[in-house]
Structure 1
Amino acid sequence: MLAPGPAPAGRPHPSEADGDEAEEFVRLHHDEHPDQPVPLTARQQQIRRQIDETGTYTHTSDELAFGARVAWRNSSRCIGRLYWKSLRVLDRRQAATAEDIRQHLCDHLRQATNGGRIRPVISIFAPDTPAGRAPRVWNDQLIRYACHRQDNGDLVGDPTYADFTDTVKRLGWQAPGGAWDVLPWVIETDQDKPQLFDVPPDLVLEVHLTHPDRPDFADLGLRWHAVPAISNMRLRIGGINYPLAPFNGWYMGTEIGARNLVDADRYNLLPVIAEHLGLDTSSETTLWRDRALVELNVAVLHSFTQAGAKISDHHTESRHFMTHLAKEEKQGRTVPADWSWIVPPVSGGITPVFHRYYEEADQRPNFYLDDDARARGTGGCPFGHG
């Protein structure tokens, strides 16, 4: 349920810290947590000195954790922000090598998966500074399925990742060739060329889809992974950019059952499911797409629940978002929200989030997606993007 934030600028982001933004952030931190060991004015002076001397400054552990949580609170495309205070923040700024990063990413999945009781987790690696570029992961999520091009032009897997799959194959990935092959990580550091790492299978909790009323639904062989960990968004806290800060919540069922498995440029499974269910597809007036969509979403929620993997339905999350709005407004805070992302893709009109307008604002801290990350995530060359 953690989703991309406001529409970001495509230009490369600066490596030098923004002093004004830093002071504003520290003031926010002190306002919401006034019991800081260093007074506000003294901390602002420390930061100004560090920026003057080095072009950047270092967040304390408390500042880093607060900034990450507020970035989630400010993420306008996320419906699940009621839980922003529960985000587990893992400080990984000292990780230097690709192997160090790999180990921390494995630990992230381990902690996030939590035996199926999915926990919101963010791992924050070193920031960009004037002295050097921060590490990156090319993958847009830590767990995604490959797409293999066949000689006859067919695609096997998730078509969104066809180009990325081609790239990792050129880098040396020995792909199994199936529809559910988990893509390897491509980890890039300032000191070394990009390196490939397979994701350990025991860290990928997958749910095989079944249906409560149709035992034959399992014959379709569908599955999905349980942890949606976004890994290509830049976390910006107090004028500092952290390009590698993978984060996750847990899935809302419609993300899988109405988008990942359904979108025409993804698995495009509605016709397959409709045929399997014996629906009349001769006319749109039979609403076969709607009926197949509902049954697929029933299967997703049922399967995750049966597997002991945490998931939420869109009606519950819509009500929770309204609770979040009320809590934030009581605190005198604006809640930026992108209506097109907050309203669920199934039965939107009968959820409470549908029936109101929202303010859109680029509030910081926040998460951003820029051209640098987009190029890596699509298998393109990232090196022209700063």
Structure 2
Amino acid sequence: MARMCGIGGVVCWRADTRADASVARTLVRWLRHRGPDGEGTYVGRARGLAPGGAEARVACAHTRLAVIDPRPVAQGPLASDDGRILLLFNGEIYNHRSLRSGLERRGHRFRSRCDAEVVLRAYEEAGPACVAWFEGMYAFAVLDRRRGRLVLARDPAGEKPLFVAQPPGGFVFASEIAAIVAAAHAAGLALDRTLCRAWVPLQRALGFVPAPHTLLRGVESLRPGEVRLLEAGRLRVQRRLVFGRFAPAPFGESGPGADPAERAASRPRSVLVRLRRAVERAVRARLESDVPLGGFLSGGIDSALVCALARRALGRLETFTLGFDEPGWDERAAAAATARAIGAVHHDSRVGAEALERIEAIVLRHGAPFGD
């Protein structure tokens, strides 16, 4: 299974439900495969989340795949200095260095080099509006006990998943549908798990169900770029970002929100030069890591271009390809030729009929059948 961070949480306000350490452990158990490098939990209470602004019980968990700053100090949930704001983060912020510099000038002090802490400090600075500053792939949750709200956000491209459920008496969110189902059961929340037949034709036609829908009646997905707030027992959409449109941070840092006039003045006239520079910049931005990086390589142009630029930037790159017994689907020969051409250290593996033995586990982790 693919590895990445996992986040999840349960909010309960009805007397016959619970959000305790056992619920947090359930979330860890169902999300651990995503983040093998560390895990953290929080169990407590927060005013403002329950209907009428009353107090609710909260249990949440974070499992980490450590890419930037693998030290324990960067393990989530990350907390503000007073402990009243907690961040659960999955993803990567590519412009975190420039944002960090600006936030430090505004008086924020950092305990780690992790990009997730930049999200925490940016939220302290600007609240949910800070999401417009981020260039990256992410899904995160902020438990804001200062203002009595839970903030959920997903990146504009929809690269990182984030699902939510609102069973009677509580609220659940997680990186995976299976984790939501397990956590709701552990919390004593009656989640509607029946198949939503209305979306089956879309599943068959597209290979997936578009957000905000899922195949389970009681579970939704955040749309790409969506920010939702849970306050007083109600979940509402606070804003929705459009892919490619970023806002400048208010402390003068140039990043995805750099001044448009300045960008236009330095822009070359040639469309091909502009395209090349944009692709090179995008690849370079994704190569920051404190652990070894690799690239998936097929026989196609797109992965060849990305891996060639990555190899040039890193000096050494390992590439990986999955092949099949069926000649019409097997791209191992083309991938190996590409790897030789760009100077990558290449590895390939065969996927045969034995992979069908794992099909149920694959669907379980993905949350639904998919046709990619």
Give the TM-score taking structure 2 as reference length. Answer: 0.28
Give the TM-score taking structure 1 as reference length. Answer: 0.27
Q: Which has the higher contact order (CA 8 A, sep 6+)?
A: 1
Q: Identify, as 1 or 2, the structure richer in helix.
A: 1
